[in-house]
Amino acid sequence: MQNFSFHMHTVGFDGKNSEEEMLVKAKEFGLKQIGFSNHFIVYPGIEKTNMYTYAVKGGYESIYSSDFDEAISKFAPHYKKIDELNKNYDIKIYKGMEVDFFASDEWYKGIERALSVLKPDYIIGSAHFVEHNGTLYNSHDLKNSPPCEQNMLVHRYWQNVRAAADSKMFDFVAHLDLIKKVGLGREDIWAEDERKTIETIKNSGIMVEINTSHFNFDEKEPYPSKRIMKMLAEYDIPVLLSDDAHKKENVTAGFAKAEEIARECGIKNFGNPLERKRNSLFTRLSKDIENIF
Ligand SMILES: [Zn+2]
Ligand SMILES: [Zn+2]
């Protein structure tokens, strides 16, 4: 079974356990490498959105930032802690982040600066939101939107995922069909959007995760769906397993079952995103930085 896990969250963001507690658990499960990938979500005025009120109620509003300096200041001490842990434990711990991609010049400038300051080892591309007419919708807002808007928003969701993949900035894409969580995007009419997305991912050369969180929610399949997994196999896109663990009990949870389903769908190309020839924005950025100094 896969002996690494690169999609994990910790306390201080929206995880329940500390970095140490997570890594002790990972060692127990025999993992050789782990990576923490807390949320890096920057959107001006995010505290005024509908979903922010729920985040405050749930106590996880710290994952959202209104500007890049705020997000950088949350990550800097967390990354420093990982550097310290790497000195004291014989398991390799990588510095990751789960980034929500927003297609604007401001965002690009901000993320470039954040990556050059924080120097993460890898970045995960995620689409937790759909932006429409200046409103930010999360998947629950999507579910609650009027039926006449819903299809348009789901279509927008897939466009976002494609834009993120097309940026070539990420090492892998998280939970491709996250909207499945609220029961959206399951019908066959979405297969075309999914295929276009898989083609974009293929062209960008990034990996896709098979995410085992909410495995029990659906009981039949992880993210992405079997329909998408068959396309991943068809295009021979490399995949990895992710537990998306927000607490130590979930480290590697569902890996065996997810791998079995993936293989049933024809997936053979399993890989480690940190052992591939890198093609991330950070690598390009660090080259620029080397040229400057
Ligand atoms: Zn996520
Ligand atoms: Zn996550």
- Hey, where are the domains in the chain? 4-292
**Are 283 and 274 contacting, i.e. CB atoms less than 8 angstroms apart?**
no
129 Cα–ligand 2 center, Å: 13
The confidence score (pLDDT) of residue 51 equals 86
19 Cα–ligand 1 center, Å: 18
38 Cα–ligand 1 center, Å: 9
Number of Cβ within a 10 Å radius of residue 219: 7
Query: Looking at domain 4-292, what is its CATH homologous superfamily?
Result: Metal-dependent hydrolases (3.20.20.140)
The confidence score (pLDDT) of residue 221 equals 87
**Ligand number, closest to the Cα atom of 8:** 2
**Ligand number, closest to the Cα atom of 242:** 2
In DSSP terms, which residues pair with 172 in a beta bridge?
Answer: 124, 207
The confidence score (pLDDT) of residue 293 equals 37
Number of Cβ within a 10 Å radius of residue 169: 23
Written as six digits, the tokens of 15 are: 């995880």
The confidence score (pLDDT) of residue 288 equals 52
The confidence score (pLDDT) of residue 214 equals 81
What does the buried/exposed string (b/e) look like for 99-108 if buried means 16 or more CB atoms within 10 Å of the residue's CB? bbbbeeeebe
Name the strand (E) or helix (H) holding 114: helix 105-118
Q: What type of residue sits at position 136?
A: L
The model carries a pTM of 0.94
The confidence score (pLDDT) of residue 278 equals 58
39 Cα–ligand 1 center, Å: 8
Number of Cβ within a 10 Å radius of residue 155: 15
**Ligand number, closest to the Cα atom of 14:** 2
Name the strand (E) or helix (H) holding 122: strand 122-126
**Ligand number, closest to the Cα atom of 139:** 1
Consecutive 10-residue runs of the chain (293 residues): their mean pLDDT? 96 97 97 98 92 90 96 98 97 97 92 95 95 89 92 96 92 96 95 98 95 78 95 98 97 96 97 79 53 43
